[in-house]
Structures are given as C-alpha cells and as structure tokens.
Amino acid sequence: MAISKERKKALVEEYVDWINTSRALILTDYLGLDMKAIDDLRQKVREAGGEFHIVKNTLGKIAFEEAGLELPEHFLEGTTAIGFAFEDAPGMAKAVAEFVKSSDFLTIKGGYLDKRMLSAGEIQALAELPPLDVMRAQLLGTIMAPASKLVRTLAEPARALASVIRAHSEESSAETAESPA
C-alpha cells in the first residue's frame, strides 16, 4: 500500500520528535511475528512508559538523519520496529528483552541510550537494571543511611542518661516504699 508524500513527511516528523524525546531507543527485527504478539509487546512497552512501532526503513533512515544520530546500516535492514522509552529506559528494555526470550521471531538489533549507540548486548545489560522506582529507593536509602546513623549516635547518650535517671527513680521509689512511715 502506497503512502502519500504528506503522510510520509508527517511520519518522519513524528519519528524525529519521538527520537529526540526518548531516553532510549531499541531497534528490533520482528520478521515472523504475528499482530497479536506485536500488540502484546506494545502493551508491555506502554506499561513501562514507552511506545513500540513498526517503522518503514527508508522513513526511519531519514528520521535518524534529521535527528542527528548516526545509524549503522544493519539497524535498518529487514523488518524494523522501534521501542521508544519516554520514561523508564531499563523498564522498557526489560519488557522487550523478556519478550525476545519468549519469542523465536523478535530479535534486538541495537539501540540508543541518551543518544549513545548501544549494541544488542548492551541493551540486554540495560534490561537487567532494576526499574527506575527501585533505583530511586536504593539511592535514597544509601543517602539516608549516614544521616539516620548520625541521629542514632547523637540520641544514644540522651537515651542512656534517661535510662539511668529512670533506674535511679525506680530505686528511690522502692526505698521509700520499704521504709516505715
């Protein structure tokens, strides 16, 4: 089915916008994948804050050139679909990598992380990172650990003094209760 020049231009503009706003891009070969499987993958990528679209190679090449990214020729050979990570790059990479494991038809060609080219192996390594929320929690825990330790260290002498005073008070109360009135 032929696409009009206006539609091609609009698609290229949309691809350039997505390339420029994405934190990561994952280029895949989907030869043999049926539409139900593609829809399932699209749903998983959307849940990770991204989009997954089939791209016409010639339009993809123009879009990457306009976005200022160098693209190896093998990235746009055969069938091409691109995952665009707008929110969580490791989460989207994980969604695609898990789908690749369960499918004989989807393969990762390579991609980009913040405009830096990645091989298929590097995409797999990105997929093994924890999700963004988990990474934030780990970082916050690491940052907060010294502060909470300092608070405990500073509070310990006061707690110990309060324990001594309470014990002395209880001892005095016991002596008062034992002495005859």
Residues 146, 103, single domain; the answer is: no
Residues 39, 111, single domain; the answer is: yes
- Residues (pLDDT < 50) of the chain are none
Per-residue pLDDT reduced to its tens digit, 115-131: 899 999 999 998 888 77
Total domains present in the chain? 2
Q: 129, 149, 165 — which closes off a domain? A: 129
Residues 178, 141, single domain; the answer is: yes
- Are 93 and 126 contacting, i.e. CB atoms less than 8 angstroms apart? yes
The range of the structural domain enclosing residue 147 comes to 131-181
Q: Judge residue 122's burial from the number of C-beta atoms within 10 Å of its C-beta, 0-12 exposed, 13-18 middle, 19 or more buried.
A: middle
pLDDT score recorded for residue 162: 80
pLDDT score recorded for residue 160: 79
pLDDT score recorded for residue 130: 77
Q: Looking at the whole model, is its pTM more than 0.85? A: no
Residues 123, 108, single domain; the answer is: yes
Residues 56, 82, single domain; the answer is: yes
Which tokens is 170 given?
């209880």
Per-residue pLDDT reduced to its tens digit, 129-160: 877 778 788 888 888 777 777 777 877 887 87
Residues 156, 69, single domain; the answer is: no
Cβ-Cβ contacts under 8 Å for 76 (sequence gap 6 or more): 27, 57, 60, 61, 64
In DSSP terms, which residues pair with 116 in a beta bridge? 113
What CATH number has the domain bearing residue 26?
Answer: 3.30.70.1730
pLDDT score recorded for residue 1: 60
